[in-house]
Amino acid sequence: MSLLLLDVGNSRLKWTAADESGLGEGGAIEHGGNPAAAVSAIGLTKADAIWIANVTGATLGDKLAAVLKLRFGTAPRFATVQAEYSGLRVAYAEPQRLGIDRWLALLAAWTETRNAACTVSAGTALTFDAVNAQGQHLGGVIAPGLLTMQQAVLGATRFPSTGPAQTYSDGLGTDTDACVRQGALHAAAGMVERLAGRYAARAPRLITGGDAARLAPHLESGWSIRPNLVMQGLLAYARDAK
């Protein structure tokens, strides 16, 4: 059976083909707040089943599902957070309020290790979650991502600036624009390292998201960049749901 997996984030729609052997070809499309409009750029012509992880809300999700059904002739199914699933237990009293992308990243880590781990997603938001060796989600943190932090500072001040950028170094900035960028970098890295040291000191550390490759080089050793972490969790979920 051929699968189409979609990870619909705040700014990008990621798609990946999958089958019994695992994940296949895929890509990422900036959707500009309209995920349905990005469907035409998906590089597949056939899918027997479609699974979606959507954080953009029900209205946009329904529009996306309608366009996908029209193109592929099959009704998509949406992954939903479960309070307890395959030994993974969510810390939230209201599990449905946990972001599906965060939960699937945790599920991927738990399915792979069956042990303690922490997951970080670096994108529009910067998130951290940890699970212990018994499969108990310990909780998480949500903070602004690298660009979001820069936008917040520049939007709340009168600094002359050329705007947010994604060129970072290990040190300090030597002009205002660089200082704002470096402030975002060190804030993000400091948060991630502090939480990992406290909640995942000897556990696998997995980082995903559009800014993972930018942030990871500025973290301590031991971090594994996993671009398809959410997709791996979604694939595990889809296989169980057959």
HSE, side-chain direction, 13 A CA sphere, residue 226 = 24
| DSSP-assigned letters across all residues of 83-96 | SEETTEE---SSGG
CB atoms within 10 A of CB 90: 23
Full DSSP string of 174-190 = SSHHHHHHHHHHHHHHH
Residue 139, number of CB atoms within 10 A of its CB: 14
Tokens of 147: 């660009």
Residues with catalytic roles: 101
Q: Let me know: does 195 contact 71? Beta carbons within 8 Å.
A: no
